[in-house]
Amino acid sequence: MIQLTDSEFRRLVAFVRGNFGIDLSKKRLLIEARMYAVLARKKVSSFSQYFEMVRGDRNELNAMMNRLTTNHTYFMREPRHFEFLKDVILPAQEKTNRSRSLHVWSAGCSTGEEAYTAVMVMKEYFALCPGWDYRTLATDLSTRALQSAARGVYPEESLAGLPPQWRHRYFRRQSGGCALSDEIRREVIFRQLNLMEPFPFHTPFDLIFCRNVMIYFSQEARDSLVARFRDALKPGGYLFIGHSETIPHNAMGLRYIEPSIYQKGP
């Protein structure tokens, strides 16, 4: 079996941290477990040889990062954020937002459940006052996760946190899982985006979800990302992070509202 040497491990960790923010320094077993089969399939004789291949080939790099990212997610994960959206953010928007458009970004969306849940919440909320535009941008590094997100077919367990009426309204059982309806799917635009690269957006966001992404990042990558999220928000816009993640309260122009919810100052 091909061995991952100490120096190859260090090189890979530095490469992934430098380019994608992800800290794999304590994930040696994960790297070995996820990469051995790939190396065998590629018929390379060492990690170094595979690494050279990856550095010169965008598709191979995507394939490696598809393997090294952790994409676990499900609908209505961390439901407090969606309650806060429905009970606090949307009523305030309804009163004050004359343009009737909301810019929402799910950053590190994985297979799409977070963005689709947000769209369902907004669709239900605005059902009685049509004319709102809440098309949502959802981005991830993993091309495999994004393909699955665009397909919109999920195992039944992934829907367990949704109200039963929503499961009936927005999904259809088919072979291989539950297919999301077009009326929700068409409200989300998926794009590949490495969060470590400059954001290519011109319009600031009302709401950014970046949940359970920064837990995998080095401290340095986290700090720079949070500062760039602040810049990408409108004054008064909200940032949701995962409940197991923290950023300094009231630092970097983001006011702590409640655990894992921050608001950009005016």
Ligand X SMILES: C[S@@+](CC[C@H](N)C(=O)[O-])C[C@H]1O[C@@H](n2cnc3c(N)ncnc32)[C@H](O)[C@@H]1O
Which residues does the annotation mark as catalytic?
A: 34, 140
Per CB under 6 A, does 148 bind ligand X? no
The piece of 1-9, 27-35, 86-94, 139-147 that touches ligand X (CB under 6 A) is: 139-147
Which helix (DSSP H) or strand (DSSP E) does residue 233 occupy?
A: strand 233-241
Q: Which is nearer to ligand X, 173 or 191 (CB)?
A: 191
Rounded Cα distance between 115 and 122, Å, is 11
Per CB under 6 A, does 196 bind ligand X? yes
Let me know how long the chain is. Answer: 266
Q: Give the shortest CB-131-to-ligand X separation in angstroms.
A: 29
Q: Which of 21, 112, 152, 237 binds ligand X (CB under 6 A)?
A: 21
Q: How far apart are the first and last CA of the chain?
A: 58
Per CB under 6 A, does 63 bind ligand X? no
For residue 147, the SS3 value is: helix
* Tokens (6 digits) for 255: 């006011």
The piece of 20-28, 33-41, 50-58, 150-158 that touches ligand X (CB under 6 A) is: 20-28
CB atoms within 10 A of CB 202: 5
Per CB under 6 A, does 187 bind ligand X? no
Q: Which of 137, 208, 213, 261 binds ligand X (CB under 6 A)?
A: 213
Rounded Cα distance between 19 and 45, Å, is 25
Q: Which is nearer to ligand X, 194 or 250 (CB)?
A: 194
Per CB under 6 A, does 136 bind ligand X? no
Per CB under 6 A, does 70 bind ligand X? yes
Place of tokens 């051995």: 36
Rounded Cα distance between 148 and 72, Å, is 12
Per CB under 6 A, contacts with ligand X among 110-129 are 110, 114
**Burial class of residue 107 (count of CB atoms within 10 Å of its CB; 0-12, 13-18, 19+):** buried
**Angle subtended at Cα 167 by Cα 165 and Cα 168, rounded to the nearest 5 degrees:** 65
Q: Give the shortest CB-248-to-ligand X separation in angstroms.
A: 21
Q: Give the shortest CB-108-to-ligand X separation in angstroms.
A: 3
Q: Which of 12, 85, 104, 145 binds ligand X (CB under 6 A)?
A: 145
